[in-house]
Amino acid sequence: MDALTLTLLLVGGGFVLRAADQRQRIALLSRYLGRYQIEKLMERLNEGYVRALGETDPQRQQQVWSLHSATEQQLAQQFRRFSEEFGQAEALQTRVNLNPLPHAHRWLPAALAPGFDLRDLMRVHALGIERAVNNEGALDARTRARTLLAELYLMQHSCHWFCRSHSVASARLQARHQSRHGELLDAVAPATRDAYRAVVGR
């Protein structure tokens, strides 16, 4: 077997393994998220916040904020329950492999297979969303809304990173919300940012 053929076989095998791994990750996350209405609540809140942020009349803007308080609480509660349930998944299934080799965390020593556990990251996001909803930072309405949206977008980025890759997650973030990953880290609460970086190591 010549070198070119061997290379093509290795590349093709890696592609097949990576695709299978992605399908398993998507199925795992969907199984847990499917029990909740988190995505639907996020869409409702996003639309309402964008509308409120576009209002020039402060009184009208406050009315729009008030309309979504129940959605905020429901979203925070559902995501906390999801995080608790997802925390019961097996560690090998929730590990995000930062080594370019597929399944490296399964057959290489930890030092050669850097990564993190998505369960830990979901706990970070659950706390961040809850703090923003409860306005623990005593922020004004506009800043609070932007912070909560950043918390939600960063959580969504983490889910896409787990299912696909960091680059795909960042591309989707840019396409859907015209935001960069670094911008979200700057926009979330400092406690979320510090805890996020402690988990992912970047």
- As for how many domains the chain has, the answer is 1
Express each pLDDT in 74-130 by its tens digit: 999 999 999 999 999 998 899 887 766 556 556 555 555 678 999 999 999 999 999
Helices assigned H by DSSP within the chain: 3-33, 38-53, 58-67, 69-86, 91-94, 104-107, 118-133, 141-163, 166-177, 181-187, 190-200
Query: Stretch 126-135: mean pLDDT, rounded?
Result: 96
Residue pair 131/189 in contact by the 8 Å Cβ criterion = yes
Higher pLDDT, 167 or 64: 167
Angle at 15 between CA 9 and CA 21, to 5 degrees: 135
Quote the pLDDT of residue 60: 80
Give the domain range for residue 162. Answer: 3-200
CA dist., res. 11 & res. 59, Å (int) = 59
Helix (H), strand (E) at residue 97: strand 95-97
Express each pLDDT in 39-57 by its tens digit: 999 999 988 888 888 878 8
> Mapped to the 3 state alphabet, what secondary structure does 171-186 carry?
HHHHHHHCCCHHHHHH
